[in-house]
Amino acid sequence: MLKLYILVVAISMMIACSKTSSQGVFLDMTIDLSIFSPEGSDLLNPENSRRLSTSDLSIFDETGESLDFNLLKVESKYVWRFFANEKITQSEQEIYLKWSSTNLVDTLLVQIERGDEFASINEIELNGTEVYHSAKNELRIVTIVK
């Protein structure tokens, strides 16, 4: 009986020790918006007298949740960076850009590849036109002309 008990304990320990533990989940869900005038002026550049402020744009997802964004400089462009909502589990996510000056709404359709321990943006469409694809673009910058 003791041998059987030792055998059961030993097998249980081997099974318990063989399970791999997760190192976390990799989320690559950032989107950068670059906004230019029709004349080519960077409308996010702090030195531009016609620059936009964060009050000029509201960003929200299909659930109505507001998405925060920050001004950054990426290479030679100023961008507003925000994160797609990782809580939405579908492979497609709609994000809306509402401009306060015109009340117009632009739509980003975001394609997300998901696995057990990762989520990454593969493709972005702006108003039905592809503006980013992971196989074609290194930087995920969506340029909008306003």
- Residue 1: inside a domain: no
**Which pairs with CB-CB distance under 8 Å and at least 24 residues apart come from 101-106?**
101/56, 106/144
Asked whether residue 66 is assigned to any structural domain, the reply reads yes
Let me know if residue 15 belongs to a domain.
Answer: no
In a domain, 14, yes or no: no
Residue 48 belongs to a domain: yes
Number of neighbouring beta carbons within 10 Å of residue 63: 10
DSSP code for 14: H
**Residues 132 and 65: beta-carbon distance below 8 Å:** no
Read off the pLDDT of residues 40-78 as tens digits, 9 standing for 90 and up.
Answer: 999 999 999 999 998 999 999 999 999 999 999 998 899
- Put simply, whether the predicted model's pTM sits higher than 0.85 gets the answer no
Number of domains forming the structure of the chain:
1
Question: For a pLDDT cut of 70, what percent of the chain falls above it?
Answer: 83
> Is residue 8 domain-resident?
no
User: Which domain does 95 fall in, by range?
Assistant: 25-145
**Residues 131-141: pLDDT tens digits?**
999 888 888 99
Asked whether 133 and 121 are in contact (CB, 8 A), the reply is: no
Residue 64 covered by a domain: yes
Q: Is the pLDDT of residue 20 over 60?
A: no
Residue 57 in tokens: 């744009």
